[in-house]
Structure 1
Amino acid sequence: MSTGEGDGEQAERMAFILGLRQRGIRDVAVLRAMELVPRPLFVDPILRRHAYDDVALPIACGQTMSQPSLVATMTEALSVTAEHSVLEVGTGSGYHAAVLSHLAARVVTVDRYRSLVTEAQTRFEVLGLRNVTAFVGDGIQGMPGRAPFDRILVTAAAADIPMALVDQLKFGGIIVMPLGPPEEVQTLVRYEKAQSGRTRTDLMKVRFVPLVPGAAATL
């Protein structure tokens, strides 16, 4: 697995970042983080030509890799800084965790599929990302042994935010996740936890796979 790139990919990456700007992404740190992560490394080689297209792509275990503009929008909404500890529920290809690794002090990512976690770990090692740790587990339960977190990102949809995740979020922390029924249009929300209560901001309509309890028995 190589990260080597030539002039062609450098040009692709520049066009990629320009495209994100044109789609409304303004956070310079987020744009820089996405520029630093070689997206083709996370894409099935058969789909390499689409690595920098703004489209969702299939990955193993029946999951999907969100389109870059959605990754950027969710990352902007998290408002991550270099002091933050971030939990990601839904490792997938590992791409989003890799982006977050360039913004946060520590990223913990969990997925119910062992094969996805194993492949993501290999990619993190290739890129030398030492502040990302991936686990197999039940994302609905979060990672209590690594809590509390400043930020939590969930890349699967549920009817409501799991209470275990709310409990593992620091006061002043933020959760970004899609809420709504499976197989239908959902709402991406930004939830802020304060001593005085919760604040919810609806961001946009999205479609995500459902958040499923437990770790997968196979795969």
Structure 2
Amino acid sequence: MRDSSKHQGLRNQLVEILNQKGITDKRVLNAIKRIPRHLFLDSSFEDFAYQDTAFPIGAGQTISQPYTVAFQSQLLQVKSDDKILEIGTGSGYQTAVLVAMGARVYSIERQLELYKKTSVLLPKLGIRPRLLTFGDGYKGLSNYAPFDSIIVTAGAPIIPQPLMAQLKIGGRLIIPVGEDQQTMTELIRINETRFEKHEHGDFRFVPMLENKN
């Protein structure tokens, strides 16, 4: 679990690249500067960990490219102590970034293999989300709702109604919507029944799966 000055230098370079690509939220950039992404990847990828690229992490899933992580995190407009629901823990890298930004993170992973791996890794790195659980992201976590914001890190064919219901008024849901290609979609809850919708370009994510457990 080594994090060297070389790794820190590579993170600094990555932050510069992200800044040039339009990531300006200092909280996001500082979190990416702090989190050792190479420790979330198979050791065979270590030399490439700070390239702006996605990599496989097992169970047919990927760790998103740093730009995607930063872009979604910036859209969330995270404030200290925000209560955030993350759908799709995956490698735990996005979780770690949100925790480093001061959020209270409740995260669901639907692949048991990844859930087990990440629930061991994060404590080793001193990263403590409020909750890490195995379950169906389409259902959210109604027992812990409402949330200040919700982030979905897999491509969803539709926006799940339970997630909309678990959002605080004034809160935002960031979700990539679509089949083969997704549109990054932002929903802001205006009141009990009304949401304001914004779209932020096309991305490609692994599909969001349901009914695993």
Deviation of the 1:104 alpha carbon: 3.6
Q: Separation in 2 of the partners of 1:16 and 1:119?
A: 26
Q: Secondary structure at the match of 1:158?
A: coil
Paired with 2:81 and 2:5, the residues of 1 have a C-alpha distance of 34
Q: Does 2:183 match 1:207?
A: no
Tell me the distance in 1 between the aligned counterparts of 2:142 and 2:161.
Answer: 12
Other-structure match for 1:193: 189
Aligned pairs (5 A) from 1:124-203: 124-181=122-179, 184-195=180-191, 197-203=194-200
* Structure 1 residue runs without a partner (length 5+): none
Equivalent-residue separation in structure 1 for 2:157 and 2:117 (angstroms) = 29
Which amino acid letter does the alignment assign opposite residue 48 of structure 2?
A: H
In the alignment, residue 160 of structure 1 is paired with which amino acid? I
TM-score by length of 1: 0.93
Superposed, 1:1-219 pairs within 5 Å as 2=1, 4-181=2-179, 184-195=180-191, 197-215=194-212
Large movers: runs of 4+ above 6 Å: none
Pairwise CA RMSD: 1.3
State the identity as a percent: 37
Shift of 1:142: 0.3
Shift of 1:118: 1.6
Aligned length: 212
Would the aligned equivalents of 1:86 and 1:104 in 2 still touch at CA under 8 Å? Answer: no
- 1:100-139 deviations in whole A, cap 9, x for unaligned? 0022441011011122112112221012123342100000
The answer (yes or no) to whether the contact 1:110–1:136 under 8 Å persists in 2 is: yes
